[in-house]
Amino acid sequence: MDLSLEDRTEGDRTVVVVGGEIDVYTAPKLREKLIDLVSAGNYHLVVDMEAVEFLDSTGLGVLVGGLKRVRAHEGSLRLVCTQERILKIFRITGLTKVFPIHASVDEAVAATD
């Protein structure tokens, strides 16, 4: 399955729903999407990863790049993920300390810390 990307606004947050496979081939599309959103002034992003079927370290790099971009505008990038294999990859790489990870979009949108 290819990568699917949709975004919507919820309050002052922009929710990006990612589906399919984030790999060395599709990661540039996700990078472009995050860059476009930040360029358009969306600095508080929630990336919903519940429909992601594959994620490699290239995809991790794109998410970290997105985080750096929103932080340059004092923004935030929160992840929504309950898939154990993806959470494991975030733990292995120490990125659970870098990204706030939430169990639902509602929780991520409501988070303020």
Residues that bind other proteins (CB under 8 A): 21, 23-25, 31, 54, 56-58, 60-62, 64-65, 85, 88-89, 91-95, 97-98
C-beta closer to other proteins: residue 79 or 89: 89
State which residue, 57 or 104, has the beta carbon closest to other proteins: 57
Least distance (Å) between residue 88 CB and other proteins:
6
Nearer to other proteins, 5 or 95 (CB): 95
The distance of closest approach from Cβ of residue 81 to other proteins in the complex, given in angstroms and rounded to an integer, is 15
Please give the Cα distance from 40 to 34 (Å, whole number): 10
Paired tokens of 75: 């923004």
**Residue 110 beta carbon to other proteins: minimum distance, rounded to whole angstroms:** 26
Q: Which residue has the tokens 């292995």?
A: 92
Pairing mode, if any, of strands 13-22 and 76-80?
A: unpaired
Nearer to other proteins, 2 or 12 (CB): 2
User: Phi, psi at residue 5, to the nearest 5°?
Assistant: -135, 125
Cβ at position 56, least distance to other proteins in Å: 5
Residues 52, 18, 87, 13, Cα dihedral to 10° = -160
Cα dihedral sign for 70, 95, 2, 6?
negative
